[in-house]
Amino acid sequence: MNRKFDELRLTGSLPSPSTAGYRILELTKDDDYDHEELIRTLLADPALSGRVIKIANAGNKDGLPNVKTVGQATMRLGRRAIRSVALGFTLVADNRRGEAKYFDYKDYWANALATAVTVHVLAQVTRHVDPASAFTCALLADVGKLAFASIHPERYSDLMRDNQGVPDLALARLESRAFGIDHFEVSASIMASWGLPREFQEVALLRAQENDTAADEMVPDDDVGDDGKKTLLTLVRAGRQIARVLTGCWDMDDARWRGGFLSLSHLCEELDMEYDALLSLCDAVIPSWKEWGEIIGITSFNAGSFQDVANEFERRGLRSAILSVPADMRAPDVPDETEAGLFQAELDLPLHPFDSAGVDDGEPTRILLVDDDSQMLRLIGHHLRREGYEVLTAETSAEGLAIALEHTPQILITDWMMPEMSGIELCATLRRSQVGMKMYVILVTARGDDEQIVEAFDAGADDYIVKPFNPRILIARVRAAQRMIQLRERVEDSERGRLRQVAELGIMTRKLRAAALTDTLTELPNRRYAMKRLKQEWETARRGDRPLSVIICDIDRFKSVNDVYGHDVGDIVLREVAHTLQAHGRASDVLCRLGGEEFLVINVATDVDTSEKAAERLRSAIERHVIRHSGFDRAVTLSLGVAQMAPEMESVDDLIKASDEALYVAKESGRNRVCVAGQAEIEISDGPEEQRYSA
Amino acid sequence: MQPNPSIPVSFSLHHSAAHGGEPVIDQEAFSILESLADEDDPDLVNEIVELFLEDSALRMSQIEEGLQGSGADTIRAAAHALKSASANVGALCFSSTCASLESAAQGEPDGDLASIVSSAIEMYADVRRALAGEAGNDQ
């Protein structure tokens, strides 16, 4: 019953770094382009990697196994398809819903790629996981963040601004509140929609439980038992930690970075590696990170040598600190409100006010001038600025191309004759991409003969001006261009409004769905959710031939609490009980409020003996938890009925019935106790805790 | 109101008779440039003239090198750039010489490259002097 992120499918695509776009345009200039280099560019970019994989898997009608790496997707799609997917890249500046100002795109891209590169090396060394798959999984493990920034830019930007530097787990809680889903779940949901294996999705989701070691001292969760998954998860987690150091400031006096570096030693155990071996492995990642980083425009590398830094720390006597630094240096600083697992249904659904149409919002039209003649740039620039346009200039086509991708001007005015790349080539290059298709291009030419004019239009120019020209003519042409642009932007604006509604609707749907399945008083999943989930777990258990147990808990003599202390106190008691039960369950347990004073615990993949122990733990926790409120000052007690799915049972109703009957016996035999369904023996001892009755 | 350029431009300088005796800087053409400057952009004229002086020196040396061997293509490109840049500062005669140089470099039949280059060099010296405001020898 995973939460879904349908907004992406409904509203478009994720942005790529502009340097990656530039490389793609440069690379595909000629017909005999370097295909391998193009693939490397796709590999470095989460958005394009995802897109080729998605397309390969969507078109898979021959029953072939889904692809899970860019390499496999490339083989299946062929050169031409890859080229056109690559040219379909979109950019942040091009996002119709705008830019998430406070989201650090560069940092996101750098960390995603650095993690992927590190994990690739780790996989080669540890040999448990296919390096190429590990690379893809690591690159995309955080794609949910990029999706939030692209689909809900204003909301996500606000969230980033108000919670700068918040660790991922705390961030996830905030996201859940704002969007009804967090970035771990969004990543998994996107991976699923791209046809990537469950294994990858689970890595994205399990990262959400990085610190969740509480409450499984009794029985380890065995749903992570799959070795491959665990290893992949270990690698991605380790890769991420190393990547953070790698892309960090490399300033030994920076406490945060130093903490990150020193805590690398904790990876030794997980990776089964000596500290020195780990350091030299990290050092081995550096050259390949530099090579890859360039693709996404990372030109300054702080990285020194891991080994040297470690030696220096040791000289400073920090080696001993290594072992005392907690694994997670990032202290969560978000108040941990009463957390109801995945269920924080807040029905505050203020829709973000829609922008007024972008055409009239006072933003000047951006014009890029490309001319190798600086005098011309100065002159034309002067005329255009005087008309109120925002003017960008470049003296070479290559520079012009980079600026065009970074700032996506609406109008491009380029000289024809320039050394190296001509204006015609610049125009044709831009026109190959989706981004460049929208620009209005005016070519400036010295000769106005028919042949040249035809050539200009063939290359994709929208208009041309013959030199020397009267500035008034140029302004008139730019005004004509602006009318075209406004027309197009008006269409885009209404489209933008629609997309925005779809995106907001996604949030609302998710919140409403969560609300419909959540009990408002305790914030636990409600009866409807409980029954749906139980049916699901029932099917899974039957298919996998795994055990399934349930515990029904009922607060003893709850009616008298309400009668004596009033409903307000009754509500407090229910909330406290819910909270206590939650705190003493395992991560894999599903706790729901069935109604009144009755709760249900679904123990996935758990047999009745283990379940009974779990029930006993809950019973004793409640018994010990004193509740104080408005004169009420004592603990309450629980009666619990435990039952396991049995072969003769036909449906979940039979299972519920069995545990209900056990609960009945628990009540009848004196309350504050656990009873197990169908157990023949009756044990009566003197102590109240060890009494068992059969149902 | 037209702010006067701080670079004094001489309009009285004329090319030698061999080059038609026309004014080096056409006053009318230059005033088009001057009319562009306004309060928002008072430095425009100075900057344009400076940009021309800087850029044209480089282009002229390219032309000379071109003649000595690096080829007609270098000359064509430099002449092309000089043609419009000089027209912008009102050096119309020089601009038209650059135009003939450009076509000669493209292999136009009756273009004698070397002789056009040498007259371009002479005219260019006049242009620099005029733009630097030196009261030159009137013919």
Q: For chain B, what is the radius of gyration of the CA atoms?
A: 15
- Give the integer Cα–Cα distance in Å for A100 and A162: 13
Structure tokens at A400: 């012009």
Give the three-state DSSP class for A127: coil
What confidence score (pLDDT) does residue A344 get?
A: 39
Say whether both A152 and A30 belong to one domain: yes
Preceding amide of A468 cis, omega within 30: yes
**Which residues of A are less than 8 Å from B38 in CB distance?**
386
Q: What is the CATH number of the domain that holds A664?
A: 3.30.70.270
Q: Who among A378, A386, A468 is closest to B84 (CB)?
A: A468
Q: Are residues A431 and A576 in the same domain?
A: no
The per-residue pLDDT for A452 is: 83
Chain B positions in Cβ-Cβ contact with residue A376 (cut-off 8 Å): 84-85, 88
Q: Is the pLDDT of residue A267 over 90?
A: no
Inter-residue contact B121 to B101 (CB < 8 Å): no
User: Mutating which of B45, B51, B73, B86 best tests the A interface, going by the most A Cβ atoms within 10 A?
Assistant: B51
The pLDDT value given to residue A356:
40
Average pLDDT over residues A606-612: 94
Check CB contact of B135 with chain A, cutoff 8 Å.
Answer: no
Whole-angstrom distance, CA of residue A661 vs CA of residue A68: 49
Task: Read off the tokens for A626.
Answer: 């004193």
* Predicted pLDDT of residue B136: 38
- Average the pLDDT over each of A371-375, A421-425, B77-81, B111-115 and give the range with the smallest value: B111-115
Give strand pairing partners of A411. Answer: A367, A440
- Asked if residue B40 has pLDDT above 90, the reply is no
Q: What percent of chain A has pLDDT over 90?
A: 40
Per DSSP, helices labelled H in A78-162 are 79-87, 105-126, 131-140, 143-151, 153-162
Are residues A31 and A180 part of one domain? yes
Range with lowest mean pLDDT among A253-257, A368-372, A632-636:
A253-257
pLDDT recorded at residue A621: 95
Residue A182's Cβ-side half-sphere holds a number of Cα atoms within 13 Å equal to 21
Query: What pLDDT is stored for residue A216 in this prediction?
Result: 36
Task: Write out the two tokens for A688.
Answer: 């109240």
**How many folded domains does chain A comprise?**
3
Say if B72 is an interface residue toward chain A (CB within 8 Å): no
Does a structural domain hold residue A549?
yes
pLDDT in tens, A458-502: 888 999 888 777 778 889 999 999 988 888 888 877 777 777 777
Residues contacting A294, CB < 8 A, separation 6+: none
- What is the percent of chain A where pLDDT is above 70? 86
Say yes or no: A433 and A540 in one domain: no
User: Is the pLDDT score of A349 beyond 60?
Assistant: no
The answer on A548 and A436 residing in a single domain is no
Report which residue type is found at A494.
Answer: S
Domain ranges of chain B: 17-131
Chain B residues close to A446, C-beta within 8 Å: 80, 83-84
pLDDT value of residue A159? 93
A424 vs A332 pLDDT, higher one: A424
A172 is a domain residue: yes
User: What token pair was written down for A371?
Assistant: 């001319």
CATH of domain B17-131: 1.20.120.160
Separation between Cα atoms, residue A237 and residue A213, nearest integer Å: 15
E strands, A330-484, are: 366-370, 390-394, 411-415, 440-445, 463-466
Instruction: Give the integer Cα–Cα distance in Å for B26 and B127.
Output: 11
Q: How confident is the model at residue B109 (pLDDT cuts 50, 70, 90)?
A: low
Q: Are strands A632-634 and A627-629 parallel, antiparallel or unpaired?
A: antiparallel
Q: Is the dihedral of CA A482, A485, A487, A493 positive or negative?
A: negative
Q: Which residue has the tokens 């407090």?
A: A572
CA distance A326 to A328: 5
ipTM of the complex: 0.76
Q: Measured between CB atoms, does B39 come within 8 Å of chain A?
A: no
| Chain B nearest CA to A375, separation (Å) | 6
Beta-strand relationship, A590-595 and A598-604: antiparallel
Query: Are the beta carbons of A27 and A211 closer than 8 angstroms?
Result: no
Confidence band of A323 (pLDDT split at 50, 70, 90): very low
pLDDT band at A507 (very low <50, low <70, confident <90, very high): confident
Q: Each residue of A632-641: b (16+ CB within 10 Å) or e?
A: beebbbbbbb
Q: Which of B40, B77, B83 is nearest residue A419 as measured by Cβ atoms? A: B77
In angstroms, the Cα distances linking A337 to A174, A523, B55 are: 11, 11, 67
Interchain CB contact of B99 with A (< 8 Å): no
Res A229: pLDDT: 59
CATH number of the domain enclosing A120: 1.10.3210.10
Domain boundary (A431, A453, A471) is at A471
Report whether pLDDT(A60) > 80: no
Looking at residue A393, its pLDDT comes to 94
Distance from C-alpha of A291 to C-alpha of A121, rounded to nearest angstrom: 14
Mind spelling out the 3-state secondary structure of chain B?
CCCCCCCCCCCCCECCHHHCCCECCCHHHHHHHHHHCCCCCCCHHHHHHHHHHHHHHHHHHHHHHHHHHHCHHHHHHHHHHHHHHHHHCCCHHHHHHHHHHHHHHCCCCCCCHHHHHHHHHHHHHHHHHHHCCCCCCCC
| pLDDT of the residue at A351 | 45
Q: Do A376 and B48 touch (CB under 8 A)?
A: no
**pLDDT band (50, 70, 90) for residue A11:** low
pLDDT band of residue A675 (cuts 50, 70, 90) is very high
Contacts of B86 in chain A (CB under 8 A): none
Closest by Cβ to B84, choosing from A419, A467, A471: A467
- The residue of chain B with its CA nearest to that of A415 is B81
Assess if residue A557 is contained within a domain.
yes
What's the average model confidence in pLDDT over A448-459? 85
Residue A375 to residue B48, Cβ atoms within 8 A: yes
A50 vs A680: which has the higher pLDDT:
A50
pLDDT tops 60 at residue A132: yes
* Whether A531 and A465 share a structural domain: no
> What pLDDT digit, counting tens, does each position of A632-660 carry?
999 999 999 999 999 999 999 999 999 99
Angle value at C-alpha B42, between B37 and B43, nearest 5 degrees: 100
Average pLDDT over residues A408-425: 89
What is the SS3 assignment for A528?
helix
**B51 contacts A374? CB cut-off 8 A:** yes
Distance from CA of A424 to the nearest CA of B (A): 16
Quick check: A202 and A229 in contact, CB under 8 A? yes
Q: 3-class SS at A368?
A: strand
pLDDT band at A450 (very low <50, low <70, confident <90, very high): confident
By Cβ distance, the residue of A375, A386, A419 closest to B85 is A375
For A650, the domain range is 527-676
What's the pLDDT score for residue A202? 87
Secondary structure (H, E, C), A556-595: CCHHHHHHHHCHHHHHHHHHHHHHHHHHCCCCCCEEEEEE
Tell me whether residue A691 is in a domain: no
Q: Residue A426's Cα: distance from chain center in Å?
A: 36
CATH number for the domain that contains residue A369: 3.40.50.2300
Confidence (pLDDT) at B111: 57
Answer yes or no: is pLDDT of A157 > 70: yes
Chain A residue with the nearest C-alpha to that of B53 = A375
Q: Are residues A42 and A190 in the same domain?
A: yes
- Is the pLDDT at A105 greater than 60? The verdict is yes
DSSP A437-455: HTSEEEEEES---HHHHHH
Same domain, A48 and A146: yes
How does A652-678 read in b/e, with b if 16+ C-beta sit within 10 Å?
beebbebbbbbbbbbbebeebbbbbbe
Rounding to the nearest 10 degrees, give the CA dihedral for residues A406, A409, A411, A412.
-20
Phi-psi region of B95 (alpha: psi -120 to 50; beta: other; left: phi over 0): alpha
Which of A471, A495, A513 is a domain's end point?
Answer: A471
Q: What angle do CA B118, B113, B79 make, to 5 degrees?
A: 80
In-domain check, residue A510:
no
Same domain assignment for residues A551 and A436: no
Burial of A433 (0-12, 13-18, 19+ CB in 10 A): buried
Which residue is closest to A374 within chain B, CA to CA? Answer: B51
Taking one residue from A and the other from B, the number of pairs with CB-CB distance under 8 angstroms is 43
How many angstroms separate the CA atoms of A455 and A440, rounded? 17
Partner A contacted by B80 (CB < 8 A): yes
| H/E run at residue A39 | helix A35-44
Q: Are residues A536 and A629 in the same domain?
A: yes
**Cβ–Cβ gap B51/A382 under 8 Å:** no
Classify the C-alpha dihedral A587-A588-A589-A592 as positive or negative.
positive
Alpha helices by DSSP H, A296-396: 306-315, 319-324, 374-386
Residue A2 has pLDDT above 70, yes or no: no
In a domain, A285, yes or no: no
Average the pLDDT over each of A3-17, A105-119, A650-664, B50-64 and give the range with the smallest value.
Answer: A3-17
Going through A273-384 in order, the beta strands assigned E by DSSP cover 366-370
Average pLDDT of chain A is 83
Q: Specify the pLDDT at position A95.
A: 62
3-state secondary structure of A202: helix
Q: Tell whether A631 is covered by a domain.
A: yes
B57 in reach of chain A (CB within 8 A): no
The contacts of residue A620 (CB under 8 Å, 6+ apart) are A689
Is B40 an interface residue toward A (CB < 8 Å)?
A: yes
Q: Are residues A120 and A192 in the same domain?
A: yes
